[in-house]
C-alpha cells in the first residue's frame, strides 16, 4: 500500500533534510534518495530556499528525487518569489515582477549568492521551479498545498495555468497587486490575511506588517484575537475581538485530510485541526524539520518524525 512522507519547509537546512530522509529510511541510490519500499515516496510542501546555508544542495537533492520518481513537490511562496525576482515586467519600465527593493532583496540574497545570480545553475533552478504544481489533488495521493486549500482560488488559477509550466506572463499577472490571479496565488501560496486595526503592527523580514495571517483551519469563531497569527517572538500588543465575517470564506469544508506548510509552527507536531496537518515547524529558524507519514492502509492516523535544530 502506498505510504507518503510529507516533508515541511526546508529553507536551506540541508543537514536537517539529510538527517530526516535517513530517519525515514531513504537511501542515496544512483544519485537520488529513494525508499527501499518502492511504494513509499516523499512529498515536499515547498519553500526549499531562502534563509539557510545549504539552499543549492537542498534544491539539487529534491530535484533529483522528483526526477527519479521518489518524491513530488508543490511550489512554495519562496519558489514563486524566486521566479518573480527573475521575471522582467513587459511594460518597458525596467521593473521586475517582484520588486528589487532592499526588503525583498534581503529576503532572497542568500539564495542569489549561493546559486550565483544569473548563472546557468540559477536558470536551471528557475526552469524547474516553473514546473512545480501549486497543489496536489490526485486519486491515491494526499491533498497537499503550500499554505491554504481554497477551491475558488484554485479554480481561478487552474483556468489560466492548466497543467502547463508557469509562464512569464502568468508570473507577471500574478504579481500585479489586486488582479484576480494575484489574489488567488496569494491565498494558495501565502494563505489568507486580514488587515490589522490602525496602530497595530509588527515587524518581520525587514518590513512593517499591517496585515496578519489567519488560522484558516480554526475559523469556528471568526474574531481577530482568536484567528490572527502573530509570528513567534513578535509583539503586536493585545488584539481586539473585532469580528471578521469574511474569514469564514476560508473554512476548509472537505472530509479529505489536507497537508500544508508555511506557518512556522512551534512545539510538538500534530494535526492543527481534525484532518488538517501543518508540517512546517520552523526548520528554517531554530525549529525542527518535520515529516508526517501517512499510510493509505490506515487513513486518519499520522506518524510524525522530527529532526530538531542542532
Ligand atoms: Mn512559505
Q: Minimum mean pLDDT among 57-61, 106-110, 165-169, 199-203: which range?
A: 199-203
Question: Looking at per-residue confidence, does 235 or 179 come out higher?
Answer: 179
The domain of 296 spans 3-307
Return the SS3 of 170.
helix
**Residue 129 CA to ligand 1 centre (angstroms):** 14
Which pLDDT does position 117 carry in this prediction? 98
Q: Burial, 110: exposed, middle or buried (Cβ in 10 Å; 0-12, 13-18, 19+)?
A: middle
For residue 228, give the nearest of 211, 205, 209 by alpha carbon. Answer: 211
Q: What is the mean pLDDT of residues 17-37?
A: 98
Q: Does pTM top 0.85 for this prediction?
A: yes
Q: Which residues of 199-224 are buried (b: 16+ CB within 10 A; e: fewer)?
A: ebbbeeeeeebeebbbbbbebeebbb
Q: Which residues of 284-298 are buried (b: 16+ CB within 10 A; e: fewer)?
A: bbebbbbbbbbeeee
State the pLDDT confidence band at 215, using cuts at 50, 70 and 90. Answer: very high
pLDDT in tens, 118-150: 999 999 999 999 999 999 999 999 999 999 999
CATH number at residue 116: 3.60.21.10
**Residue 69 CA to ligand 1 centre (angstroms):** 24
For the chain, the domain total comes to 1
Which pLDDT does position 258 carry in this prediction? 98
Answer yes or no: are the C-beta atoms of 46 and 76 closer than 8 Å: yes
CA atoms within 13 A on the CB side of 65: 26
**Residue 92 CA to ligand 1 centre (angstroms):** 31
- The mean predicted confidence, pLDDT, of the chain is 95
**Residue 30 CA to ligand 1 centre (angstroms):** 31
pLDDT at 207 over 90: no
**Residue 78 CA to ligand 1 centre (angstroms):** 6
Amino acid at each position: 500500500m502506498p505510504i507518503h512522507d510529507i516533508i515541511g519547509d526546508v529553507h536551506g537546512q540541508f543537514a536537517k533534510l539529510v538527517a530526516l530522509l535517513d530517519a525515514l529510511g531513504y537511501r542515496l541510490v544512483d544519485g537520488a534518495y529513494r525508499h527501499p519500499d518502492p511504494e513509499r515516496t516523499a512529498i515536499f510542501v515547498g519553500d526549499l530556499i531562502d534563509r539557510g546555508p545549504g539552499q543549492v544542495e537542498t534544491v539539487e537533492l529534491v530535484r533529483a528525487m522528483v526526477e527519479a520518481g521518489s518524491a513530488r513537490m508543490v511550489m512554495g511562496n519562496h519558489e514563486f518569489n524566486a521566479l518573480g525576482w527573475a521575471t522582467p515586467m513587459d511594460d518597458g519600465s525596467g521593473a521586475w515582477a517582484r520588486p528589487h527593493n532592499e526588503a525583498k532583496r534581503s529576503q532572497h540574497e542568500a539564495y542569489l549568492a549561493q546559486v550565483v545570480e544569473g548563472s546557468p545553475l540559477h536558470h536551471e533552478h528557475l526552469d524547474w521551479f516553473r514546473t512545480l504544481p501549486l497543489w496536489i489533488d490526485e486519486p491515491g495521493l494526499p491533498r497537499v498545498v503550500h499554505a491554504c486549500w481554497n477551491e475558488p482560488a484554485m479554480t481561478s488559477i487552474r483556468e489560466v495555468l492548466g497543467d502547463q509550466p508557469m509562464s512569464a506572463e502568468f508570473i507577471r499577472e500574478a504579481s500585479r497587486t489586486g488582479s484576480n490571479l494575484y489574489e488567488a496565488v496569494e491565498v494558495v501560496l501565502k494563505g489568507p490575511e486580514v488587515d490589522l486595526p490602525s496602530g497595530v503592527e509588527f515587524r518581520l523580514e525587514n518590513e512593517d506588517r499591517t496585515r496578519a495571517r489567519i488560522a484558516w483551519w480554526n475559523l469556528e469563531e471568526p474574531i481577530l484575537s482568536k484567528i490572527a497569527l502573530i509570528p513567534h517572538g513578535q509583539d503586536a500588543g493585545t488584539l481586539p475581538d473585532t469580528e471578521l465575517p469574511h474569514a469564514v470564506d476560508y473554512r476548509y469544508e472537505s472530509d479529505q485530510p489536507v497537508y500544508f506548510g508555511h506557518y512556522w509552527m512551534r512545539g510538538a507536531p500534530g494535526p492543527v485541526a481534525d484532518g488538517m496537518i501543518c508540517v512546517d515547524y520552523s526548520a528554517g529558524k531554530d525549529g525542527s524539520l518535520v515529516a508526517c507519514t501517512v499510510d493509505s492502509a490506515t487513513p486518519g492516523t499520522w506518524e510524525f518524525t522530527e529532526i530538531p535544530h542542532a
